[in-house]
Amino acid sequence: MCFVKMLYKSSMRPLKMVMAKLLTVLLLIEVFAHGFRYGADGLTMNYYLMSCPFVEPVVKNIVNRALQDDPTLAAGLIRMHFHDCFIEGCDGSVLIDSTKDNTAEKDSPGNLSLRGFEVIDDIKEELERQCPGVVSCADILAMAARDAVFFAGGPVYDIPKGRKDGRRSKIEDTINLPFPTFNASELIRSFGQRGFSAQEMVALSGAHTLGVARCASFKNRLDQVDPTLDAQFAKTLSRTCSSGDNAQQPFDATSNDFDNVYFNALLRKNGVLTSDQTLYTSPKTRNFVTAYAFNQAMFFFDFQQAMVKMGLLEVKDNSNGDVRDNCRKIN
């Protein structure tokens, strides 16, 4: 009887191994065919695996070349992706040029300082040569922003692809962009309307570790004594503004490096914009600022999670979007 049991058990082991291997193969086939899906929007990590397999290196190489020539473009690409997603979702609408019949988003006062459009144009041109009509401008912008973060020393992360390009770009829609004069409560409300928590909002604000602000966006803080502004730093801002509204002030001392120096500046009352310093002034967000100032790894992790989430805002599909032939024009 024991011999029969042993024989039965020994015969079952190979069968279990075969079944386990079969399930593994079926799972791999499913992943290969459909990728890692992100909800009902149809986005997957390997969306272009068969249709345009070299899309990732093309985007990365062109972004890296552009940033080697001009590192300040990293801030521009990240900001452009943010301004795209906050208006009509991540659909490339911020890339569209105005026409005689329509003033587009990019000509809004809040978008006049956006930079890096020519980088997106170069990527689109190369991808149209390799796989015409396949890769959307919205996806190109999302990937370019991701690669700009990494080039500047920030976290590496992947994003799902498959966004379609929107068919609308109107200046009046940009009224929904957060203003540089917003306080913490207004920022929390603005980001909350798009599904972000207060902590995610602070993490995304950390993108100001790159780039500069124009005097026009912070000179209101210099008209009278601002108790949230360090006196010596106020003099620095005043000197910047003595050159006019378009004079530029770095957000922090390492404006081309993605790090947590921005949050340390807020601890010293050296935030450039009202919307920067309010993150530390307000008890609703102060603890997040302090945590990121002392823990860069925590900031990097939360930032990449928030960026992936932002890239999923109001994604268009084939029913309400296209793949544009030219990122500057609606098909």
What pLDDT is recorded for position 258?
97
**Three-state secondary-structure class, residue 165:** strand
Question: Among candidates 237, 291, 283, 242, which has minimal Cα distance to 263?
Answer: 291
What pLDDT is recorded for position 224?
84
Count how many residues are written for the chain. 331
Tell me: is residue 105 an annotated ligand-binding position: yes
What pLDDT is recorded for position 271?
97
What pLDDT is recorded for position 5?
44
d(CA 95, CA 103): 12
Pick the catalytic residue from 83, 146, 164, 269. 83
Query: Cα separations (Å) of 267 from 10, 212, 287?
Result: 67, 19, 11
Percent of the chain topping pLDDT 90: 82
Q: Does the annotation count 34 as an active-site position?
A: no
Tell me: is residue 93 an annotated ligand-binding position: yes
**Residues of the chain scoring pLDDT < 50:** 2-9, 11, 15-37, 39-40
Tell me: is residue 89 an annotated ligand-binding position: yes
